[in-house]
Amino acid sequence: MRTLRVNLAERGYPIHIGHRILQKPDLFAPYLAGQSVAIVTNETVAPLYLSTLCDTLTKLGIRPLEIILPDGEKHKNWQTLQGIFDALLAARYERNSTLIALGGGVIGDMGGFAAACYQRGMPFIQIPTTLLAQVDSSVGGKTAINHPLGKNMIGAFYQPRLVLADTHTLATLPDRELSAGFAEVIKYGLIRDRHFLDWLEEHLPDLRQRHETLLEEAIWQSCRHKAEIVAADEREAGERALLNLGHTFGHAIETGVGYGSWLHGEAVAAGTVMAAQLSCMLGFLPEYDVLRVKKLFAAADLPVRGPGEERNMRVERYLSLMRHDKKTLSGKLRLILLKSLGEAFIHAAPDEETVMEAIRICSELE
């Protein structure tokens, strides 16, 4: 097992990364506020790992409340969130109870948001079971639900007490979900670590074959970058915004085609290609680096083109949805672009005609 720490003074917490660590009660014991523990998971993850987690907690004398939600991004809404509150209230859980989110990014986001809201805040633990959640969404305290007009538009910054990434859970992850996770892994190399990017190019074939040691290294490197950025900029006032490379385009895709139709990582991959193309058109990135970005995502079996008119995604639709993005300031787009591979920056108010042309080039609108 390898351990990192998110350094946020008294609100700091460890990230444990290892194989079959879900079965280690000593990792949980210091972070449980009391004997009342609720596990929020979904219908897909529950048959796979819920009993293992319950057995681990039983060794600590805890019989947890099980809250099993429907699976999928389309359920990341107020109605499903209300179901978590209903279960907690019916069981008379109090503020010092602990909520454990067991699942992918949707469960982590909703479980964390529920914990932030319930009785104005209860302790929670993240146990991410997908690659994407292990390398990104479980770390940093971003919690949210979706709105029909935009992804993750309603939420809170609320840090977990512990993140436990058990790489054994990736054995049951469908290939498509595994590929989606690589979009966020590649992102760290693109925004701040050229050497990691080179390493990924070399090892992506083995990573896709779930080489255990290499996967653990990729997760550790990704979490290291995320922890450093969150510690420096918890509420996204500056550097943390760079983690959104490709996300403004990607969130527009997810919202526009309907939540769950494209996986988050798939939309981020296509969105990152658009950001790279725009970076090239504005004179920051050479064309051969745009090609290198495309090849990286293609090697991870991710899309490098966004949807077009057959999914009602005209260029005006992209732009309309992008204006709802959280990074928009005074009605002006702010995008994360690349000065070079390994160096990202915030570009305030780029010319919208150029943005639209980049979308056309990198989507099925061309």
Q: What is the pLDDT of residues 22-57, one digit of tens each?
A: 999 999 999 998 889 999 999 999 999 999 999 999
Q: DSSP character for 259?
A: B
Q: Is 235 one of the annotated active-site residues of the chain?
A: no
Decide: 285 and 338 in contact? Cβ < 8 Å: yes
Cα–Cα distance measured from residue 134 to residue 265, given in angstroms and rounded to the nearest whole number? 13
pLDDT confidence tier of residue 342, bands split at 50, 70 and 90: very high
Which is the catalytic residue, given 73, 75, 76, 142?
Answer: 142
Q: Is 75 a catalytic residue?
A: no
Q: What pLDDT digit, counting tens, does each position of 215-226 carry?
A: 999 999 999 999
- Tokens coding 185: 């892994």
pLDDT of residue 246 exceeding 90: yes
Amino acid at 162: L
pLDDT tens-digit readout, 97-142: 999 999 999 999 999 999 999 999 999 999 999 999 999 999 999 9
- Cα gap 131→287, rounded to integer Å: 30
Active-site annotation holds for 184: yes
Block residue for tokens 């769950």: 260
Contact in structure between 225 and 189 (CB atoms under 8 Å): no
Residue among 42, 73, 76, 184 flagged as catalytic: 184
N-to-C CA span, the chain: 48
What's the pLDDT tens digit per position in 57-67? 999 999 999 99
Q: What is the largest CA-CA distance in the chain?
A: 61
Q: Is 264 a catalytic residue?
A: yes
How far, in Å, CA of 259 to CA of 244, rounded?
Answer: 18
Looking at the DSSP bridge assignments, the partners of residue 329 are: 332
Which residue in 76, 161, 192, 264 is the catalytic one?
264
For residue 156, pLDDT over 80 is answered with: yes
Q: Select which of 75, 151, 161, 226 is catalytic.
A: 226
The whole-number pLDDT of residue 330 equals 67
